Amino acid sequence: METIAIYSESVISTYGFNLLQRLIMGQVEVTFDQLSRWGALLQDIAHKPAFRLVWAQSCRPGGIKFYLLCDDGQWHKVKTFFDRCTEDRLGTWRRNAEGVDLLFFQGPHFGDRYGIMHYTHKVLTDKRIPVLAAVCSVATINLMLPVGRGETAKKELTCAFNIPMQKRTPG
Amino acid sequence: MTINGLKLNGPFAALWIAASEQKASTLAALYRLLTVNCVNIAYMTTGDAMADEPALCCIDRSEAAKVEAWFDNDPQLRDQIRVGSDVGLLTFYPHHSSLKMLGSALQLLGEHEIHVHGMASSISALSFVVAFEQLKEAGAVLSQGLQLPDSATPIRDVVKIRQEQR
């Protein structure tokens, strides 16, 4: 069965931009055969930290690197875990010294983001705002930006996208 | 540890963007090409500023042949992007921002030797990129290990979105 939907957007629409500033980013690389031990250790953290974003990616044959973003107040709990990893020889962790701003937005539609990354990237490039990393998962697009650049990026993207039912002014 | 739902998607073609100093410009060229040709991005993780690491972009498998053909016409994309073996996306929700839940999923997948190519959270869901031939097994492992409610079954997404510009 085929359903055809036709929509017209002179300006790409999204549901608004969310900004989290000065997050801590930690990263650790483990090998695939360490994955289950690493997962088990992760469940053992005494004081359960909450993450803002996690992602991982194969980085070389046999290895996968995990990235974790959390609030400053959660970092000491995460660090406890990373230190345990080091003790157990489960990868070497490091912390991004400067931290990051995380800008994220939803949609549009069911994870259908045709053209959205290109549009977003172009807006930021034109304004010389560097993207440290991007993560597109389900219907969310996450942009990691240098600390202090998130506010400007939010303002520029808010102006560039159409945000239905909301004022276009950021805030 | 319970979840409310689990979804299986795929197959997807995995586009691996090489770790190099050119990665940021390769990504920009890839975004442009996918946009001009109306190809959707199902999943992506990039470290634009991390030149020593690759980036991963997943597109629908049915689009892969024509995308590869376009790469052949562009020296940078041809040299910097490799189309890997098929992958599937395994997504469960909610994650409650819980590292314990993430750890549990990774332990289960690792114990069953499911090859995890990547993983990312969204606002409420966690998605794992796994070898497509292991997707069904991975779904069974997580639906049992993370206690999917009896009334729910893993959803196999069969909806295909095709977009055209007029």
Query: Which residues of chain B make contact with A111, given a CB cutoff of 8 A?
Result: 42
Please report which confidence band the pLDDT of residue B118 belongs to, taking 50, 70 and 90 as the band edges: very high
Q: Give me the residue from A64, A114, A136 closest to B43, CB to CB.
A: A136
Please report which confidence band the pLDDT of residue B147 belongs to, taking 50, 70 and 90 as the band edges: confident
**What was the pLDDT predicted at A82?**
87
Q: What is the nearest CA distance from B49 to chain A, expressed in angstroms?
A: 5
Take residue A155 and report the two structure tokens written for it: 């303002």
pLDDT by 10s per residue, chain A, length 171: 777 777 777 788 888 899 999 999 999 889 988 989 988 888 887 677 788 999 999 888 888 999 999 999 988 888 888 888 888 888 888 888 789 999 999 866 545 567 888 999 999 999 999 999 999 998 899 999 999 999 999 999 999 998 876 555 554
- Judging by beta carbons within 10 Å of its beta carbon (0-12, 13-18, 19+), is residue B74 exposed, middle or buried? middle
Distance CA A19, CA A143 (A): 10
- Please report, for residues A69, A73, B97, the alpha-carbon distance to residue A49 in angstroms, rounded to integers and kept in the order given: 11, 9, 8
Distance CA B124, CA B111 (A): 25
ipTM: 0.90
Distance CA B109, CA A35 (A): 8
pLDDT per residue as tens digits for the range A106-136: 866 545 567 888 999 999 999 999 999 999 9
Contact A125 B161 (CB under 8 A): no
Distance CA B121, CA A37 (A): 21
First and final CA of chain A: distance in angstroms? Answer: 43
- Please report, for residues A19, A126, A149, A151, B11, the alpha-carbon distance to residue A155 in angstroms, rounded to integers and kept in the order given: 10, 14, 10, 6, 37
Contact A132 B47 (CB under 8 A): yes
Q: What is the nearest CA distance from B150 to chain A, expressed in angstroms?
A: 24
pLDDT per residue as tens digits for the range B3-62: 788 999 989 999 999 988 888 899 999 999 999 888 989 999 997 666 678 899 999 999
CA atoms within 13 A on the CB side of A129: 25
**What was the pLDDT predicted at A16?**
87
First and final CA of chain B: distance in angstroms? Answer: 48
Map residue A170 onto helix, strand or coil: coil
**What was the pLDDT predicted at A139?**
85
- Please report, for residues B4, B5, B132, B155, the alpha-carbon distance to residue B148 in angstroms, rounded to integers and kept in the order given: 6, 7, 21, 11
A-B contacts at Cβ under 8 angstroms: 179
**What was the pLDDT predicted at B114?**
94
**pTM for this predicted structure:** 0.91
**What was the pLDDT predicted at B80?**
95
Q: What is the nearest CA distance from A96 to chain B, expressed in angstroms?
A: 12
Distance CA A67, CA A86 (A): 16
Q: What is the nearest CA distance from B103 to chain A, expressed in angstroms?
A: 4
CA atoms within 13 A on the CB side of A11: 12
**What was the pLDDT predicted at A24?**
95
Q: Give me the residue from B46, B111, B166 closest to A133, CB to CB.
A: B46
Contact A43 B103 (CB under 8 A): yes
Q: Give me the residue from B41, B48, B53 closest to A113, CB to CB.
A: B41
* pLDDT of B159 strictly over 70: no
**What was the pLDDT predicted at A170?**
55
Contact B49 A132 (CB under 8 A): yes
pLDDT per residue as tens digits for the range B75-106: 999 999 999 999 999 998 888 888 888 999 99
Strands (E), A46-126: 53-60, 63-70, 93-95, 100-106
**What was the pLDDT predicted at B19?**
87
Contact A133 B31 (CB under 8 A): no
**What was the pLDDT predicted at A113?**
63
Contact B105 A39 (CB under 8 A): yes
Q: What is the nearest CA distance from A39 to chain B, expressed in angstroms?
A: 4
Total number of residues shown for chain A: 171
Contact B103 A39 (CB under 8 A): yes
Contact B123 A140 (CB under 8 A): yes
DSSP element (H, E) containing B119: strand B116-121
**Helix A116-126, helix B23-36: angle, nearest 10:** 130
